């Protein structure tokens, strides 16, 4: 099991974080279409491999979460995509859930599916080069949600997934995401995130998951996107750290936050403040999708052949996130 702990630490230590490039074909199509780029197999691969072969991969990115399509692709250089990532001393990972579906008897909520046949799929992904996996449970916040059905069902699924991933020799990323959608305040987010995370660890321990060989990917504590509450970065950091300190067992090596609808700058600024105030033994870093890729995608969409310029934009963002994971970011250096 020390091998899994080593992999987890390699992904999140030394100012490194995770590039979440695991958007499904449908999600990636929406992102590309928003910039008037055709979502062909070649275009999806070209954008992703441009990021995977950038110089910041070596210094800033410890792991890359891939989608089923991408992990099986060969880059234009002739290397398989996982090999391209490994060559930068980054670790290839894979999203293994099959998406959130309507939860029976609580139809406004979701349950993540994908446990059927997972053991066999994990073996295939391991052989393709993956050494960690990701599964996302998704929860909504309101006066009556998340319900006990949602909290229990998603925690149970996350634990079963994590046990199977470790059985296959990979590190599971456990991602319980409480969505920013809604008008809830930060106190509601704090209470409900705490409840969800505690239930996840109750189930992980019940399923005998070795916590030292896992990474938690939670949301930060923020008010809902429709809330009138004004909250400063300092309070976001304090509440987020308090929530994790009280909810996450000390054996967990680290926490890689999702950006969850924050802008690139917000996600970087909040992570930086969390690390300035971090009084725990947890490594606190990033596992960002849009908050790492959005500016690069916007730049690339103007000229699909300008790969070097796209990489420069991505390198800057990755460097800013890396500095934030050490509490060394500042507004004045975050300009491009």
Catalytic residues: 175, 217
Categorise residue 208: left if φ over 0, alpha if ψ from -120 to 50, beta otherwise. Answer: left
26 CB-contact burial (10 Å; exposed 0-12 / middle 13-18 / buried 19+): exposed
231 φ, ψ (degrees, to nearest 5): -130, 135
Categorise residue 261: left if φ over 0, alpha if ψ from -120 to 50, beta otherwise. Answer: left
Q: Could you tell me the two tokens for 228? A: 């009138």
**For residues 61-91, b (16+ Cβ closer than 10 Å) or e, as one string?**
bbbbbbbbbbbebebeeebbbbebbbebebb
The length of the chain in residues reads 336
Written as one string, the DSSP assignment of 265-298 is HHHHHHHHHHHHH--SSSEEEEEESHHHHHHHHH
Find out whether 153 and 202 touch, Cβ atoms under 8 Å.
no
Residue with tokens 């954008």, as numbered in its chain: 47
3-state helix, strand, coil in the chain (%, to 5): 50, 15, 35
Closest CA to 23 of 297, 322, 268: 297
């Amino acid at each position: 099991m020390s091998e899994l702990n080593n992999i987890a630490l390699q992904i999140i230590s030394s100012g490194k974080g995770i590039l979440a490039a695991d958007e499904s074909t449908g999600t990636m199509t929406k992102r590309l279409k928003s910039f008037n780029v055709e979502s062909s197999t070649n275009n999806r691969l070209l954008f992703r491999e441009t990021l995977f072969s950038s110089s910041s991969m070596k210094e800033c990115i410890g792991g890359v979460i891939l989608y089923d399509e991408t992990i099986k692709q060969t880059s234009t250089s002739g290397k398989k995509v996982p090999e391209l990532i490994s060559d930068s001393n980054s670790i290839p990972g894979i999203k293994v859930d099959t998406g959130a579906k309507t939860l029976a008897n609580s139809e406004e909520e979701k349950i993540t599916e994908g446990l059927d046949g997972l053991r066999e799929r994990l073996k295939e992904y391991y052989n393709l080069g993956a050494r960690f996996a990701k599964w996302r449970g998704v929860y909504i916040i309101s006066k009556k949600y998340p319900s006990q059905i949602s909290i229990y069902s998603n925690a149970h699924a996350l634990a079963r997934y994590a046990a199977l991933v470790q059985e296959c020799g990979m590190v599971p990323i456990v991602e319980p995401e409480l969505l920013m959608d809604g008008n809830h305040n930060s106190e509601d987010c704090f209470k409900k995130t705490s409840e969800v995370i505690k239930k996840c660890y109750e189930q992980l321990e019940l399923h005998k998951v070795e916590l030292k060989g896992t990474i938690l990917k939670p949301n930060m504590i923020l008010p809902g996107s429709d809330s009138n509450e004004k909250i400063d970065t300092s309070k976001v950091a304090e509440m987020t750290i308090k929530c994790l300190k009280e909810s996450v067992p000390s054996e967990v090596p680290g926490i890689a936050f999702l950006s969850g609808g924050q802008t690139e700058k917000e996600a970087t600024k909040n992570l930086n403040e969390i690390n300035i105030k971090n009084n725990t033994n947890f490594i606190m870093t990033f596992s960002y999708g849009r908050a790492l890729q959005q500016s690069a995608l916007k730049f690339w969409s103007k000229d699909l052949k300008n790969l070097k310029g796209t990489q420069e934009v991505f390198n800057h963002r990755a460097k800013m996130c890396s500095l934030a994971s050490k509490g060394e970011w500042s507004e004045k250096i975050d300009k491009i």
